[in-house]
Amino acid sequence: MEMVRLNPPAELTMPVGDAMYSQRAIRRLDPNRPVTDAQLKIILDSASKAPNGGNAQPARYLVIRERGAIKEFGKLYFEAWWAKRRDAYGWTSKADIPEDSQYRFAAGLADEMVNAPVVILVYSNSTGVAASSTFPGVQNLLLSARALGLGTVLTTLHADVMEQVNTMFGVPSEMVFHCCIPIGYPRGNFGPTSRLPTSVTTSWDRWGNPPPWK
């Protein structure tokens, strides 16, 4: 059989299991440790290798590097985040968020977005299956960033700010926004994560039958 040369970048040496089991939401990023263009190319190249419907490759990535733009975007993210929680729950400060709520972490990200060395906005150039075709690439992106020692967190944007964000960066109106990913070296540690056991999430042969490792 003919040998296929894959030529993955030499920097992506972390075993895939280690990357998957230690990748977690990193919301506090080091503003003083730069992420290089070469690292971003590795990350985006790995995203481009992901499965997608009919190999139509609808995903498009907007990489925001410019400090002033990230500061402006971060302020918008902060305002939108709090506007949404004010509308939904009447919260106006962190003291209003219940102790055990995951929103406490998300509120931290609203503070931190301005510090992100890089922000990637992920779009697709069409609707329909395009969203499902975009997220496998996003997962590759998160894992390859982890393999390079870079922290990420997948986040969304409030619908109210989408027009402002798209205008700010000249995004054409036909692009469909999917998620926003700040990237940088972590202030804090990677994994492990806490997830439901697969004995709870998995059925075997018939819905509700447990898997053999139950």
Ligand X SMILES: Cc1cc2nc3c(=O)[nH]c(=O)nc-3n(C[C@H](O)[C@H](O)[C@H](O)COP(=O)(O)O)c2cc1C
Query: With binding defined as CB under 6 A, does residue 156 bind ligand X?
Result: yes
Spacing of C-alpha 31 from chain mean position: 18
**From CA 157, how far away is CA 169, in angstroms rounded?**
15
Among the listed ranges 41-49, 100-108, 118-126, 161-169, the one in contact with ligand X (CB under 6 A) is 100-108
Query: With binding defined as CB under 6 A, does residue 134 bind ligand X?
Result: no
- In terms of CB distance, is 37 or 96 closer to ligand X? 96
Q: Which residues contact 197 (CB under 8 A, 6 or more apart)?
A: none
- In terms of CB distance, is 9 or 25 closer to ligand X? 25
Cα radius of gyration rounded to whole Å, the chain: 19
Query: With binding defined as CB under 6 A, does residue 28 bind ligand X?
Result: no
Give the chain's length.
214
Query: With binding defined as CB under 6 A, does residue 24 bind ligand X?
Result: yes
Which of 213, 137, 139, 121 shows the shortest CA–CA distance to 176? 121
- In terms of CB distance, is 27 or 148 closer to ligand X? 27
Query: With binding defined as CB under 6 A, does residue 105 bind ligand X?
Result: yes
**Closest distance to ligand X from the beta carbon of 156 (Å):** 5
Question: Quick check: 115 and 74 in contact, CB under 8 A?
Answer: yes
Which of 127, 135, 133, 122 shows the shortest CA–CA distance to 171? 122
Figure out which of the listed residues 28, 140, 155, 186 binds ligand X, where binding follows CB under 6 A: 155
Residues that bind ligand X (CB under 6 A): 24-25, 27, 102, 105-106, 109, 153-156, 193
